[in-house]
Amino acid sequence: MPREAEPSQNEKDFILKAVREGHRLDGRALDEFRQLDLKFGDQYGVADVTLGKTRIIAKVTAEVTVPYTDRPFDGIFTITTELSPMASPAFEVNRPTETEVLLSRLLEKTVRRSNALDTESLCLVAGQKCWSIRVDLHVLSHDGNLIDASCLAVVAALRHFRKPDTSMEGDTLTVYTPAEREPVPLSWLHSPFCITFSFFGSISVGEDGEEKDIWLLDTTLLEEQLRVSSCTISMNKHGEICQVAKPGGAPVEAVTVVQCSSLALQKVKDLSDFVDQKLAEDSKHRNKGGLLAELSAENAR
């Protein structure tokens, strides 16, 4: 199995020493995110997230299928992740690495299990027809913090997505093309975001030698290789935790975890506002002049 090249001992020592003194290689503060950018595609349901050098594309598609027999009133909602060799030589096709399994599990827990998307609203005819919503996530470039960026991309894409409108008359189900009826957004309940804290051991502060854990937000790939453990907290802006995962690694004080969770809330609010603002910009852009312009008989000539 190919592996990411290990950083040399010099690099390790340098970065760790700098982090202990409160500096990072790219000059950010310890709790600062890299430049975050979110673009939507021409189609509905395409989100392109750039976080520093990490770039992720999420694409949402919908189709009408038969619901699972054990859940006749629910639609189908799946998230698939693909970490291709394009993003990093450590990834292989058709062989999920541990990173990929953890990433897809985290997204699953954050978005799907927390009921961010109301799957009952996807049901068309109970037990016979329902919408199947599928999110395909592609990592185009991997420079750390995949989880936070992926989660943002998935949420943004789903909120941007419009599915074709449908109607039921008697026993006939009609699915309208975008020309006939304006597509409708998904029934979205809340927007969860992931915040990953990376821990780098502890330093003693003050005279009494009290230990304080050092953590970073939005780590680059290099920093991620050096961290001793990580903790991902998923939350929405209402302060509801959707998922917490600290998968092993070096121990941290329980107090630190609690502190991190309240800090995560602030960051989630920032991210939430950011996505709201971008969505508003996009809909404004799409809807130049509003409905009136579209209805006007006057043509551009």
Partner 1 sequence: MPLDTSTYNLALLRVDGRRWNELRQQKGQLGVQPSADGSAYLEMGNTKIQCIISGPNERDLSKSTSSASTAPTSNGAGATVAVSIMIAPFATVDRKRRGRNDKRLQEMQTTIASGLAATVQGQSYGPRSTIHISLNVLSQDGSLLACLINAASLALVDAGVPMTDYLVACTAGSTSSYAAADEEADPLLDLNTQEEQELPFLTLATLGATDKVVAMVCESRVQLTRLEGMMATAADGCKGVRDFLDGVVRDKGELMVQEGAIGRGEVVSSMDLD
User: Site residues (CB under 8 A) for partner 1?
Assistant: 6, 98, 101-102, 104-105, 108-109, 113-115, 229, 231, 235, 239-255, 257-258, 261-262, 265
To partner 1, the closest distance from the beta carbon of 70 in angstroms equals 11
Output the six-digit token pair for 188.
């979205």
Contacts (Cβ under 8 Å, ≥6 apart) of 290: none
**Minimal distance in Å, beta carbon 116 to partner 1?**
10
Identify whether the C-beta of residue 137 lies closer than 8 Å to the C-beta of residue 58.
yes
Give strand pairing partners of 167: 174
Cβ contacts of residue 36 below 8 Å, gap of 6+? 49, 50, 51, 152, 274
Q: Which is nearer to partner 1, 132 or 261 (CB)?
A: 261
Taking the complex as a whole, how short is the minimal distance between the CB of residue 229 and partner 1, in angstroms? 7
Q: Which is nearer to partner 1, 114 or 150 (CB)?
A: 114
> What are the phi and psi torsion angles at 85 (to 5°)?
-60, -15
CA distance 269 to 192: 10
Minimum CB–partner distance for residue 41 and partner 1 (Å)? 29
Coil, helix or strand for 30? coil
Report in angstroms how near the CB of residue 212 gets to partner 1 at its nearest.
13
Nearer to partner 1, 2 or 247 (CB): 247
How far are the Cα atoms of 101, 165, 296 from residue 182, in angstroms, in the given order?
37, 7, 17
Q: How far is the CB of 106 from partner 1 (least distance, A)?
A: 9
State which residue, 178 or 239, has the beta carbon closest to partner 1: 239
Q: How many CB atoms lie within 10 A of CB 122?
A: 22
The smaller minimum CB distance to partner 1, of residues 54 and 243, is found at 243
Q: Measured between alpha carbons, how far is residue 214 from residues 18, 138, 172, 222, 257 in Å?
A: 11, 31, 61, 16, 11
